[in-house]
Amino acid sequence: MSNLIQKFSVKLRYLREKKNISQDALAKLTDIDRSYIGRIDRGEVNISLDKLFKIAKALKCQPAELMPEIDSFD
C-alpha cells in the first residue's frame, strides 16, 4: 500500500490506543466489520470518506486529526 495509507494507519492506531479503544470496540462503534478495522489499522486498505468520518466520530476527533501532514506526502 502507499506511504500515505501507512501513515494514516499509524495515526489511527495511535489515537485508538491513546483513547484505550480496541479494534473490536471501534468496530462496534462504527458498524464496520472487525476484520476490516484490523486491515485499516495495519494500513492494508484505502478507506472511503464515509468510513473516515465514522471512525473520527467514534474516536471523538476531527477527521483531519487522522490525516498525515501534507509535507509527508510521497
Is residue 14 in a domain?
yes
Residue 18 lies in a domain: yes
Structural domain contains residue 64: no
Domain at 45, CATH number:
1.10.260.40
Domain contains 20: yes
Number of folded domains in the chain?
1
Q: What is the mean pLDDT of residues 48-56?
A: 97
Residue bearing the bigger pLDDT, 70 or 48 = 48
Q: Is the pLDDT of residue 66 over 60?
A: yes
Residue 69 included in any domain: no
Q: How far is CA 25 from CA 3, 46, 63, 68, in A?
A: 26, 21, 19, 24
Q: What is the pTM of this model?
A: 0.88
Q: Which domain holds residue 43?
A: 3-59
Q: Is 36 inside a domain boundary?
A: yes
The answer to whether residue 53 is domain-embedded is yes
